[in-house]
Amino acid sequence: MSGRCRWIPWLALPVCGAIILAAMGWLTHGVMRAEHERSLAESRARLEERIRLSLWRMDTLAASVAIEENQRVINATQDAGESPLVRLRFRVDRDGRVIPDGSLAEETMTKLRALLSGQRSSGDLYQFMCATITGDNQWRGNMILADQPKEAAGDPYQPADQQMLNFNERASRGKAVNRAVTKAGLEQKWGNGDAAVVLASSAGAFQPTWIGDEPFLMRLVKYGDVVRSIEGVWLDKTAFRRLLLDEIADLLPLASLEPSTVGGEGEMTLASFPWKLVPGEAAAGPEGVGAAVIRSLAVGWLAVIVALVAGTATVLKIMRLSERRAAFVSAVTHELRTPLTTFRLYSDLLAGGLVKDEEKKARYFETMRRESDRLVHLVENVLSFSRIERKASPETERVVVAGFLESLRERFESRLESAGLDLVLQVEGDPVARANKASVEHILFNLIDNAGKYADRSQLKQVELVAGKFGRRVRIQVIDHGPGIPPAERWKIFRPFHKSADEAAGSKPGVGLGLALSRRLARDLGGELTCSDGDGATFVLELPSA
């Protein structure tokens, strides 16, 4: 890859990574927000369900209190019985007199008269109470709400639609309470002492209302079509509220009740009595995201990170491969140019008969043979490396190391002789390896060839080939006395095409493929090729013992 274009992948890679991470972050934020909203909607739905059950329970209980009072006869001459919810039962006649039900402490009567008198703006007490009952009619308000239901649409867990559902639920409760309470009106027989005249009277259902800040049940008593008196029940506000709240303590333990307008349209208002329910809590989502969502997001993030790492590694490998390919092409071109130039020059001289001296001819032929061997070795390395890249595993056999090395002596000596070096072969014991002969020969010749290239100027003009058994391995060492290899370079020399085009042109011949090929051949045989410390360069080939 040219220097002008090399920066493009390094710029595109972080930009693509940033886009992917930003998209994943946005998706994660959306998923967590959706999960929170879903949990909040579920919490709101559960709260609304508890509120609905609580209102039904309280309406049922409060209606039963009204029904029970409707069945009582308020009579000043006899006690109607004690109730923890009732402070006083009384009648108000047309003259405005307050007549208690049975015996009663004067203190309670004084409080009642003060309460009733404090609410009159004009006129007498009887007319005021009649107007109160007629104006604040709980049951008529319930019927109006029930006759005008609202339509609920859309998501039932959205606040606006939930309010409409609650309103219709309020109307349904009002219908149920009306049917139960309005049928409980009392038919009474009223007489005048022992007189023979007995009049039939009727009392409607008790109407819940507030007088001041106290709860009352009020109803009109008629003789025919004529209203003759008003009956009332003064309820104990604290005991009544406590009774209703105890009924829903398992559903809404923090709830409270507040006074409300009779017939109010609030969806939290009871249909049986003008109380307004305050739940005391609000719908809340979870403190954290569910484990399943976290696991899914973690897997997604892991996949994205792995993909980015894999993509980065792939780009790096592609760039390195591109650089190696360029280096390989340049090096091979240089390696081919030199021997081909020699071939052409010497062949032209010999073909033209320009060389008359037989000794010079022999030297030219020897040079051409040496260059041809160099080309053959180069082509063999390239072909062998190509076979290894295709994962072609060699077949192994038992190899007697001493005899095998002895058969290679002449070839190795011939290569070292051209560099002015001698071969010293030493085999300790009788090691037997399991290997492929062609692969081992290729490895050792690459090592001998490198020794001939780099140790030709050493003071000790010899290369040692030492073999022996080392544990369960057979070890073959190639030792020269050249300049050696610096420790910082030892891990690089086994990389394919390590030598660049400039290095190939300015140093010893080769394309930087021999050592990489040799190590791969060794590993394919189940062995290893390493470089160790020594006087010069020491390469150690280990093979499995047979």
In which band, very low, low, confident or very high, does the pLDDT at 248 lie, cut at 50, 70 and 90?
A: very high
3-class secondary-structure state, position 473: strand
Q: What pLDDT sits at residue 35?
A: 83
511 burial level (CB within 10 Å; 0-12, 13-18, 19+): buried
Q: What pLDDT sits at residue 130?
A: 67
Q: What pLDDT sits at residue 37?
A: 84
413-417 long-range contacts, CB within 8 A, separation 24+: 415/445, 415/448, 415/449, 415/452, 416/448, 416/451, 416/452, 416/463
Residue where one domain finishes, among candidates 278, 296, 331: 278
> Amino acid identity of 408?
L
Backbone torsion region of residue 386, taken as left when φ is above 0, otherwise alpha when ψ lies between -120 and 50, otherwise beta: alpha
Number of C-alpha atoms within 13 angstroms, CB side, residue 300? 16
Distance CA 125, CA 123 (A): 7
Q: How remote is the C-alpha of 149 from its chain's centroid?
A: 44
Q: What pLDDT sits at residue 322?
A: 77
Element spanning 99, H or E: strand 98-100
Q: Are strands 528-532 and 538-544 parallel, antiparallel or unpaired?
A: antiparallel
Which of the given ranges, 154-168, 333-347, 491-505, has the highest pLDDT on average?
Answer: 333-347
In which band, very low, low, confident or very high, does the pLDDT at 264 lie, cut at 50, 70 and 90?
A: low
In which band, very low, low, confident or very high, does the pLDDT at 141 lie, cut at 50, 70 and 90?
A: low
Q: How many domains does the chain have?
A: 2
269 shares its domain with 378: no
Over the stretch 85-133, which tens digit does the pLDDT of each residue have?
Answer: 888 888 888 777 778 876 566 777 788 877 777 655 544 566 666 666 6
328 shares its domain with 274: no
- Look up the domain containing 522 and give its range: 305-544
Element spanning 69, H or E: helix 7-70
Residue 293 lies in a domain: no
Q: What pLDDT sits at residue 471?
A: 86
Overall average pLDDT of the 498-520 stretch: 62
Overall average pLDDT of the 10-37 stretch: 85
pLDDT at residue 445 tops 80: yes
Which CATH number is 535's domain given? 3.30.565.10
Residue with the bigger pLDDT between 117 and 360: it is: 360
Overall average pLDDT of the 423-449 stretch: 90
Over the stretch 43-77, which tens digit does the pLDDT of each residue have?
Answer: 888 888 899 899 999 988 988 888 888 877 766 54
Over the stretch 382-423, which tens digit does the pLDDT of each residue have?
Answer: 776 666 666 656 788 999 999 999 999 998 998 888 888 999
Place of tokens 């829903």: 248
- Work out the percent of the chain whose per-residue pLDDT is above 70: 74
Distance CA 335, CA 504 (A): 8
User: In 369-385, which positions are buried (b, 16+ CB within 10 angstroms) versus exposed (e)?
Assistant: eebebbbebbeebeebb
Residue 21 lies in a domain: no
User: Helix, strand, coil proportions of the chain in percent (round to 5)?
Assistant: 50, 20, 30
327 shares its domain with 237: no
312 shares its domain with 389: yes
Residue 45 lies in a domain: yes
Overall average pLDDT of the 264-290 stretch: 77
128 shares its domain with 256: yes
264 shares its domain with 322: no
Contact 515, 491 (CB under 8 A): no
269 shares its domain with 315: no
Q: What pLDDT sits at residue 158?
A: 45
3-class secondary-structure state, position 257: strand
Q: What pLDDT sits at residue 405?
A: 93
Q: What pLDDT sits at residue 380?
A: 75
76 shares its domain with 161: yes
270 shares its domain with 339: no
Residue 290 lies in a domain: no
Residue 286 lies in a domain: no
Over the stretch 158-189, which tens digit does the pLDDT of each residue have?
Answer: 455 666 666 677 777 777 777 777 666 554 44
pLDDT at residue 154 tops 50: no
3-class secondary-structure state, position 209: strand
pLDDT at residue 222 tops 70: yes
In which band, very low, low, confident or very high, does the pLDDT at 514 lie, cut at 50, 70 and 90?
A: confident
Q: Are strands 422-427 and 462-470 parallel, antiparallel or unpaired?
A: parallel
Q: What pLDDT sits at residue 241?
A: 93
> Amino acid identity of 381?
N
Residue 283 lies in a domain: no
Angle (CA) 194 200 202, round 5°? 130
Q: What pLDDT sits at residue 308?
A: 87
Q: Write the DSSP symbol of residue 488.
A: G
pLDDT at residue 195 tops 50: no
141 shares its domain with 234: yes
Over the stretch 327-338, which tens digit does the pLDDT of each residue have?
Answer: 667 666 766 777
